[in-house]
Amino acid sequence: MIYNIRAYNCVPRMLNKYLEIFENYAMPVNNKHGFKLIGYFISDIGPQNQIVHIWEYKDLNEFNAMKKKRAADPAWSDFRDRTAGMVADQEDKIMTGTSFSPLK
């Protein structure tokens, strides 16, 4: 398995609105295309207005194929339009579990 770990820093005062839009518009699209959410978190202590989410994939081929299908879905474009300007920056990583990790 591989894990896509994404960190978004929202524009101040946009976090709650972004979360609402993500839940109502992005999650249905992600679910429709088989994306497996491992966790979705917001910062309590540390950088403010930060979201970190983790997604699981079989391998890079699955990751790329799923992203391509989702990108072609008009509902995904709608989500992106609704959140335009809400994210200041993002970091995107692909990680694999170690031999002793509970998630491999």
Q: pLDDT tens for residues 26-82?
A: 999 999 999 999 999 999 999 999 999 999 999 999 999 999 999 999 999 999 999
**Within a 10 A sphere around the Cβ of 67, how many other Cβ atoms?**
15
pLDDT for the residue 104: 79
pLDDT for the residue 103: 84
Residue 99 confidence class, pLDDT cut points 50, 70, 90: very high
Cβ neighbors of 36 (< 8 A, separation 6 or more) are 55, 56, 57
Torsion of CA 88, 26, 44, 91, to 10 degrees: -40
Q: pTM higher than 0.85, yes or no?
A: yes
